[in-house]
Each structure stands twice: as C-alpha cells, then as structure tokens.
C-alpha cells in the first residue's frame, strides 16, 4: 500500500463523515450479523429439566427436549450453529473417562436428536475429557498425576469418532494435547467421515476466566485447587499461539479457536493477519459473568455493550464468536 500524506485541518475534517447515520454506515469497516454467532449450550439428562447456573445469570442447563426448542428459536434468529457441552452425572465420571466415547452417551444422543429435529443447524461438539474425569483434568493421569499426552489422545480420538458417527458437523478438540488434531483427522478419513470439520482450540490459555463454565458443567469440584498450566498456554505468550495454530492447520484443522476472547484479541489479530485461516474466538464464561454483573447493577447498558463487545471480535479479525449472548445479540441485530 502506498503511503498517503495526511491532509491537515481544516482541509481534512474527519468529523464530517461522522455527522450523520448514513455516512457513518457507509464508511463502516466491519459488519456484525447473526451469521457470526455460535451459541454455547449446556445439556443435561432427563426431561423437562431447566437448571440455572448461579455464576452465569440468564444461562441454564437444559434437558434435551427443552434444548431442542431453544435451538429451534436460534435457527429462526439466523444463528448458524450451536456448541454443545454436557453436564455429566457424577456416577458417569471415572479416572479413564470411558463415558466420553459411549455411543449412548449424553452428547452422542443429543447430536442425533438435534440433527433429526433441526438438520439445518450446525452442531459443534466439545472433544475434551474434563466433564468425564473424576479428577476434572482434560486427560488421563499417569502415576505421578501428570496428564499423559499420548494416552489421552487415544481416548480423544475415540470420543471424536463417536461424535462424528452420531452426526456432529464439527468436532472441536479443546484439550490442548499435542498431536491430537492429526490423529483425529487421520481416523476420520480412514472411517470415511471426510466432511466432518475440525475446529481446533489451538490457542487455549490457562486462564482464570473459565470458572463459571466449570461450575456449569460440574467439573470445578473435581478439579479443586489444581490447574491446567501443564497443557494450556501461558497467558504471557503470543508467538507460541502462532506456532500452535500453524501446527493444527498442518495436521488437518479446518478452523482454529482463540480462547478466552476479549483479553486475547491481540492473538486473534495476529493469527488472522499472519496465517489467514478461518479464525474464531470464545467470549468465555468469565467475560459473560463480568458483563452481566455490570448490567444487573446498572453500570453498563446491556444491549449496546453486548453488540460493541461482539464488534470488537470482528474488528480484531474473528470470523465468528462463541458467545452466551448469541440469541440476545441476534434479536438486537434483527431490529
């Protein structure tokens, strides 16, 4: 791009283009629509069940029958996809997370019924073991309590295959194990599941913003005071994120994820600028909880701040955003 010598005031008055709504719209650099939204949802066993998540006001765990009705409304609002997260009963959790790849598991049954009821809705499944482990970690522990990478990948590929066979459109490994994208892609290809997409959580940080999510899926108590810093990324690093994303794309990922979202928009921008791949970000539970606290106390205006926060993701280069505000934002955008 050739250098432009800026005109000086009064020859240039930038406020001229800001004076009216029509000219502000004409020069708007980024557009936000329902097409950019992915709605994360929590599913639990049973029928007619609806449980509030105390640390996430307005968010509920839903039994599948109620979730299908809520998902139907999401389709009507133009939201293209949901991301499915299970609330696993305590008696289904174990050291080796066997329930994660059960063909009759909660996620697998939910995928089949969601796709039967709403075939046009994209269904994204979380490939991770923390909802299923009795210790709350995202993998299988060795005798020293360390998450064993390759042993965990053996379980993750079984889980991803079970989701794909149930009809998931996108499997989304969020575990941060090395080599799991290549292993999953190889298995999907071998099983003829060529069009199952992989959304890799490639730059997932060992963040403290995840607390309310762990409450929602019931893994917080299992994890206790332990953390995930031996496999999730150090919040101080961004060059490392580019390395992780490049590896996952090379191994067969179709899309990549940066998580958390707004505190890491610099990483989103770098990924998009330097690698130019489909890039997504997760406006995580802690971000949602902070916003809701400010809204509930009257400190911020909810509708305008929700849309502003989501536009920030677009401006940073995200192609889409996982956000608990998805339905509310879609309604606002439809006005």
Asked if 272 is an active-site residue, the reply is no
Decide if 92 is catalytic: no
CA dihedral of 171, 164, 327, 136, whole degrees rounded to 10: -60
| Catalytic residue chosen out of the listed positions 92, 228, 259, 272 | 259
CB atoms within 10 A of CB 129: 28
H-only helix segments in 135-253: 149-166, 180-190, 211-217, 220-223, 239-251
Rounded CA separation 334/329 (Å): 9
Which residue among the candidates 204, 228, 272, 314 is catalytic per the annotation?
A: 204
> What is the C-alpha to C-alpha distance for residues 65 and 50, in angstroms, rounded to an integer?
10
Please provide the DSSP assignment of 78-146 as one string: T--EEEEEE---GGG-BSS-GGGG-TTSHHHHHHHHHHHH-TTSEEEEEE-STTTBTT--SS-B-TTS-
Just list the catalytic residues: 204, 259
């Amino acid at each position: 791009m050739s250098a432009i010598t800026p005109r000086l005031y009064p020859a240039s008055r930038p406020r001229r283009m800001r004076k009216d709504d029509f000219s502000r719209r004409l020069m708007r650099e980024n557009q936000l629509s329902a097409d950019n939204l992915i709605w994360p949802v929590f599913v639990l066993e049973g029928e007619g069940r609806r449980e509030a998540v105390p640390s996430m006001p307005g968010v509920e765990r839903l039994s599948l029958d109620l979730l299908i009705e809520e998902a139907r409304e999401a389709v009507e609002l133009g939201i293209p996809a949901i991301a499915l997260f299970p609330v696993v009963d305590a008696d289904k959790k174990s050291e080796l997370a066997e329930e994660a790849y059960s063909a009759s598991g909660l996620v697998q049954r939910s995928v089949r019924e969601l796709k039967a009821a709403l075939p046009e809705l994209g269904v994204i499944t979380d490939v991770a073991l923390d909802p299923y482990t009795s210790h709350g970690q995202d993998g299988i522990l060795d005798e020293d309590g360390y998450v064993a990478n390759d042993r965990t990948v053996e379980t993750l590929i079984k889980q991803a295959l079970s989701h794909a066979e149930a009809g998931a459109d996108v499997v989304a490994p969020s575990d941060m194990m090395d080599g799991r994208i290549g292993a999953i892609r190889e298995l999907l290809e071998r099983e003829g599941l060529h069009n199952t997409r992989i959304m890799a959580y490639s730059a997932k940080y060992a963040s403290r913003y995840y607390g309310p999510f762990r409450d929602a899926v019931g893994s917080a108590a299992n994890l206790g005071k332990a953390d995930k810093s031996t496999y999730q990324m150090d919040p101080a690093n961004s060059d490392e994120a580019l390395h992780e994303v490049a590896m996952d794309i090379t191994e067969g990922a179709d899309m990549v994820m940066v998580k958390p979202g707004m505190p890491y928009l610099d990483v989103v921008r770098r990924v998009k600028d330097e690698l130019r791949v489909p890039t997504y970000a997760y406006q995580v539970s802690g971000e949602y909880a902070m916003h809701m606290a400010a809204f509930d106390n009257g400190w911020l205006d909810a509708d305008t701040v929700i849309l502003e926060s989501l536009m920030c993701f677009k401006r940073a280069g995200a192609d889409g955003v996982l956000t608990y505000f998805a339905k509310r934002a879609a309604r606002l955008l439809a006005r």
